[in-house]
Amino acid sequence: MTERIEKLRTQSLNAVNRISAERALLITEFYRSHESQKASIPVQRALSFQYIMENKSICINDGELIVGERGPAPKATPTYPEINLHSTKDLDILNSRKKVSFKVDSETRKAYEEIIIPFWEGKTNRERVFKNMDQAWLDSYAAGIFTEFQEQRAPGHTVLGKKIYRQGMLDIIDEIKEVIAKLDFFNDSEALNKREELLAMEITAKAIIQFAERYAEALETMADDEKDEIRKKELVEMAQVCRRVPAEKALNFHEALQYYWFVHLGVITEMNPWDSFNPGRLDQHLLPFYKKGLADGSLTEDWAKELLHSFWVKFNNHPSPPKVGVTAEESNTYTDFCLINMGGLTEDGKDAVNEVTYLMLDVIEEMRLLQPSSMVQISKKNPDKFVERTVKIVKTGFGQPSIFNTDAIIQELMRQGKAIEDTRNGGASGCVESGAFGTEAYILTGYFNLVKVLEVTLNNGVDLKTGKLIGVETGGSTGFETFENLLHAFKIQLNHFIDIKIKGSNVIESLFGAHMPVPFLSLLIDDCIKNGKDYNAGGARYNTNYIQGVGLGSITDMLTSIKYHIYDKRTFSWAELNHAIEANFEGFDQMRAQLVYDTPKYGNDDDYADEQASWIFNAFYDAVNGRPSPRGANYRINMLPTTCHIYFGKVVCATADGRLDSEPLSEGISPFQGMDKLGPTAVMLSATKFDHLKTGGTLLNQKFSPDFFNSSDSINKVVKLIRSYFRLDGHHIQFNVVSADTLRDAQKHPEKYQDLIVRVAGYSDYFNDLGADLQNEIIRRTAHEAF
């Protein structure tokens, strides 16, 4: 790492996360203006984007090679009052809370008080969303049956494909004009809407070019004043890069990265789309530029690396925008889930691992940054050397890169009806979500609390925490004469709540489609231009909505306990168990020990328990899969929690698996923390008894103690372990390589572990930034010590 990169990296690590009112003020100014009232909604949105890009401040950090910040400085984070409006109380909490805080200076607070809040109150999309939800939805939401992603952020969740490496914005504008010229106002009833959308796209394309030119001008001025000859030359070159891209298509490695970065800023400034927007298959996109640069002598390996380093720092400068309605305890994360993909297959199905892949792996190991996150796609066609290199980074213990099965992802996407080339151009994003990069709008709609649905089932439709009837009255636990009766009732409740969830998501989707188009993002994703339709309204080639199931391990163990102790062995009766649950097992130690220790558990390759996992998985799949949405998407399932297993645990009382009231649920498809006793092969076999290919992603976390990796022989065995899991069609696996002792010590002495990054669930985070319950949960996950 060169000195300047070291400095940029340190600057990024030390930058204080703060709220910047700049974007909020600009958009308020724009919407107050007379001009804004005359245009159609998409054109309004486009003009507001243009207004922001014309007026937001320019930030060029010392020594950097890739330029552009979303806010006025690194980690100065904008807000999106048209989506969700922070109250002054929100700002105060963000400013003062201990974890994941955002500083709010008095000027920002004042701007909110005097200008932003008065204008946006009553007009935000969040208010629009809640106004349109019915009582059943509100009750289920309050009970913690599900969450709703689009309540605070816009539906993003997509990844860029190859387009920008082949076309400049001027080419794209030509494309737009061509589609406008061909609009059929005689037969196409949508023609006018399409024209407005396309005009909006054109405005945003021009806006991003203007934005780059502002950077070019600033760089030229800086070059004029620069005394250092080397830096002066760099600044001149950087200005030339910004003059060319994104207007023209990139001609070299540097331009390709800078082009992407401008586009990235455009997407996350236009709106606050849910996580993950990133360059996707970066090693594939950069390869031709890399090869060409080395061949014509304009690029060296070291210079390519330095550019990548500089590029990496940019991601870390951009924390996830903070939520509204926050509490001091709810810490969330600074991570915004940009997951850069490496490896996998080429469009024509060949091994895609290349020189840039290894270069990027070096960069990841050296940078050790929270953002961007990174993952490797491993196909059976990729070499072991690639997997070994990955495991060697994993063993350094900061949770990156995560490891994915390309062959599974391709089959998942093809099962949903996508063309094979599009699936091979895809990968995983966010935590573990499969998608066709550049061609798909795949929206996560929210987490779904499978465990809570079982609790409601056992209590005749009543929420045990509040006593409120929220489900269907299918009879209580004592009335289920057989285990099958219970399963039958569960299915009724499950369908009931999935209906509520999907109805709500459909309404929200329509609201975004009508009121919150994203013409800039739509420029980038095929086939929005061709269809003359916005990304949020179904313009993409493929449209998918996901519901993420949470608590599979927990609900499996609960059902297994019930089956084993109540129906099969008759160890105790429903009345006894209910009594113990009501008492949160206080005074029922023996019973709880039996539930914890003397019961078959998911994660041990024991069919008695794993049968329940498959049943639940299939029931969830049947309830969701294939259901249509207004924009033409189909609902699908995936199994990932991010940190929601903590929140979902808080709304569930003590459970039949011996878990206490409010404790976290299991995460992803991992066994309940500490319940897997037979090692990783048994976990993998349990976790593949249901069909991952029917999902859009599953998440399996395993923890290894650092000692395990101390020989090359062990590393090789981990490589084979991964290959085996992928032969079983496992979708994703991630390893936490840090000892429980280290984590316990870090809890006691956070000051000594400020750089300790751990794998949470589908992403990594600073251990110190996690809430105590999440910290404890991570410590409890079984470590596979040196066997």
Which positions are annotated as active-site residues?
431, 433
Q: Nearest-CA neighbor of 455 among 143, 669, 687, 690?
A: 143
Number of Cβ within a 10 Å radius of residue 186? 6
Query: Alpha-carbon distance 682 to 478, whole Å?
Result: 34
**Which tokens belong to 525?**
């994703």
Helices 229-244 and 191-225: crossing angle, nearest 10°?
A: 170
Complex with another protein: residue 368 or 381, whichever CB lies closer: 381
Minimum CB separation of residue 551 from another protein in Å reads 21
Q: Using omega within 30 degrees of 0 as the cis cutoff, is the peptide bond preceding 246 cis?
A: yes
Selected from 679, 706, 750, 771, the binder of another protein by CB under 8 A is: 679
Positive or negative, the Cα torsion across 225, 229, 233, 235? Answer: negative
Q: What is the contact mask toward another protein in residues 598 to 617, using x (rule: CB under 8 A)? A: -------x------------
Minimum CB separation of residue 685 from another protein in Å reads 7
Selected from 361, 500, 525, 596, the binder of another protein by CB under 8 A is: 596
- How big is the chain by its Cα radius of gyration, in Å? 26
Selected from 681, 712, 752, 755, the binder of another protein by CB under 8 A is: 681
Whether the CB-CB separation of 350 and 299 falls below 8 Å is answered with no
Minimum CB separation of residue 700 from another protein in Å reads 15
Complex with another protein: residue 315 or 704, whichever CB lies closer: 704
Strand 701-704 to strand 783-784: parallel, antiparallel, or no bridges (unpaired)?
parallel
Selected from 685, 700, 738, 760, the binder of another protein by CB under 8 A is: 685
Region from 482-490, 574-582, 712-720, 752-760 binding another protein, contact rule CB under 8 A: 712-720
**Which tokens belong to 725?**
């899991």
Complex with another protein: residue 592 or 636, whichever CB lies closer: 592
Region from 91-99, 272-280, 641-649, 678-686 binding another protein, contact rule CB under 8 A: 678-686
Number of Cβ within a 10 Å radius of residue 590? 9
Query: Alpha-carbon distance 45 to 25, whole Å?
Result: 15
Q: What is the contact mask toward another protein in residues 272 to 311, using x (rule: CB under 8 A)? A: ----------------------------------------
Strand 76-77 to strand 433-435: parallel, antiparallel, or no bridges (unpaired)?
unpaired
Complex with another protein: residue 13 or 728, whichever CB lies closer: 728
Q: Identify residues 767-786 at the interface with another protein (CB under 8 A).
A: 784, 786
Helices 450-458 and 552-561: crossing angle, nearest 10°?
A: 30
Residue 40: partners with Cβ closer than 8 Å, 6 or more residues away? 196, 200
Q: Identify residues 346-405 at the interface with another protein (CB under 8 A).
A: none
Minimum CB separation of residue 610 from another protein in Å reads 12
Complex with another protein: residue 711 or 754, whichever CB lies closer: 711
| 183 touches another protein (CB under 8 A) | no
Is residue 184 packed enough to be buried (19+ CB in 10 Å), middle (13-18) or exposed (0-12)? exposed
Selected from 460, 584, 714, 742, the binder of another protein by CB under 8 A is: 714
| 110 touches another protein (CB under 8 A) | no
Minimum CB separation of residue 44 from another protein in Å reads 57
| 168 touches another protein (CB under 8 A) | no
| 649 touches another protein (CB under 8 A) | no
Minimum CB separation of residue 525 from another protein in Å reads 38
Tell me the CA end-to-end span of the chain in Å, nearest whole number. Answer: 36
Number of Cβ within a 10 Å radius of residue 220? 16
Complex with another protein: residue 516 or 685, whichever CB lies closer: 685
Query: Alpha-carbon distance 144 to 146, whole Å?
Result: 5
| 52 touches another protein (CB under 8 A) | no
Q: Identify residues 716-775 at the interface with another protein (CB under 8 A).
A: 716-717, 720-721, 723-724, 727-728
Minimum CB separation of residue 687 from another protein in Å reads 14
Region from 330-338, 446-454, 714-722, 764-772 binding another protein, contact rule CB under 8 A: 714-722
Region from 179-187, 436-444, 532-540, 711-719 binding another protein, contact rule CB under 8 A: 711-719
Query: Alpha-carbon distance 404 to 700, whole Å?
Result: 10
Minimum CB separation of residue 787 from another protein in Å reads 5
Complex with another protein: residue 635 or 725, whichever CB lies closer: 725
* Look-up of token digits 């032969």: 727
Complex with another protein: residue 106 or 590, whichever CB lies closer: 590
Query: Alpha-carbon distance 392 to 389, whole Å?
Result: 5
Helices 41-55 and 191-225: crossing angle, nearest 10°?
A: 0
Complex with another protein: residue 681 or 754, whichever CB lies closer: 681
| 711 touches another protein (CB under 8 A) | yes
393-427 residues labelled b (16+ CB within 10 A) or e (exposed): bbbebbbbbbbbbbbbbbbbbbbbebeeebbbbbb
457-495 residues labelled b (16+ CB within 10 A) or e (exposed): bbbbbbbbbeeeebbbebbbbeebeebeebbebbbebbb
Complex with another protein: residue 78 or 730, whichever CB lies closer: 730
Minimum CB separation of residue 665 from another protein in Å reads 17
| 185 touches another protein (CB under 8 A) | no
Region from 131-139, 478-486, 514-522, 593-601 binding another protein, contact rule CB under 8 A: 593-601
Residue 737: what are its φ and ψ, rounded to 5°?
Answer: -110, 85
Minimum CB separation of residue 682 from another protein in Å reads 6
| 54 touches another protein (CB under 8 A) | no
Per DSSP, what are the bridge partners of residue 345? 351
Number of residues that bind another protein (CB under 8 A): 27
Minimum CB separation of residue 681 from another protein in Å reads 5
Q: Using omega within 30 degrees of 0 as the cis cutoff, is the peptide bond preceding 630 cis?
A: no
Complex with another protein: residue 17 or 724, whichever CB lies closer: 724
265-292 residues labelled b (16+ CB within 10 A) or e (exposed): bbbbbbbbbbbbbbbbbbbbbbbebbee
Complex with another protein: residue 30 or 690, whichever CB lies closer: 690
Selected from 225, 296, 302, 713, the binder of another protein by CB under 8 A is: 713
User: Residue 312: helix, strand or coil by DSSP?
Assistant: helix
Region from 180-188, 236-244, 550-558, 584-592 binding another protein, contact rule CB under 8 A: 584-592
Query: Alpha-carbon distance 699 to 619, whole Å?
Result: 19
Selected from 592, 645, 692, 759, the binder of another protein by CB under 8 A is: 592
Whether the CB-CB separation of 457 and 474 falls below 8 Å is answered with yes
Contacting positions for another protein (CB under 8 A): 589-590, 592-593, 596-597, 605, 678-682, 685, 711, 713-714, 716-717, 720-721, 723-724, 727-728, 784, 786-787
